[in-house]
Amino acid sequence: LLGTRSFWEGVDIPGEALSCLALTRLPFAVPTDPIFAARSETFGEAAFMEYSVPDAVLKFRQGFGRLIRTKSDRGVVAVFDKRLLTKQYGQTFLQSLPDCTVRRGTWADLAKAAAAWLKTA
């Protein structure tokens, strides 16, 4: 299953049908979107940290929630956006997650670790 931005909300795929969520980018809104731009203006110079980041963090959590719907659900979230680790606001995203294990490494090492972890379910 390959989903786009529309999959951030209102999708329920319970059980083993969804076991890995790959995020190519953090879910920041398009800054030129007229509604987003108008709302951002109300925050002035602090719009990015006070509006854009919290909005993206909420969507990030919603995306994570697509994977874990019940107590018995298990899954892996792979985030391929380096800003999660290189930008100060990346910690805000990580701290917003429910209790989970965060791993960093090469794609090959992480793929092996994810496959092994999913097999233990």
**pLDDT value of residue 4:** 64
Which pLDDT tens digit goes with each residue over 13-72?
666 767 788 888 999 999 999 999 999 999 999 999 999 999 999 999 988 877 777 777
To the nearest 10°, report the CA torsion of 110, 121, 59, 79: 0
In the predicted structure, residue 7 carries a pLDDT above the cut 80: no
In order of start, what are the domains of the chain with their CATH numbers? Answer: 5-119 (3.40.50.300)
Report yes or no on whether pTM surpasses 0.85. no
7: which residues sit within 8 A by CB, 6+ positions away? 63, 66
Mean pLDDT of the 78-93 span:
94
**pLDDT value of residue 22:** 84
* Amino acid identity at 89: Y
Percentage of the chain lying above the pLDDT 70 cut: 86
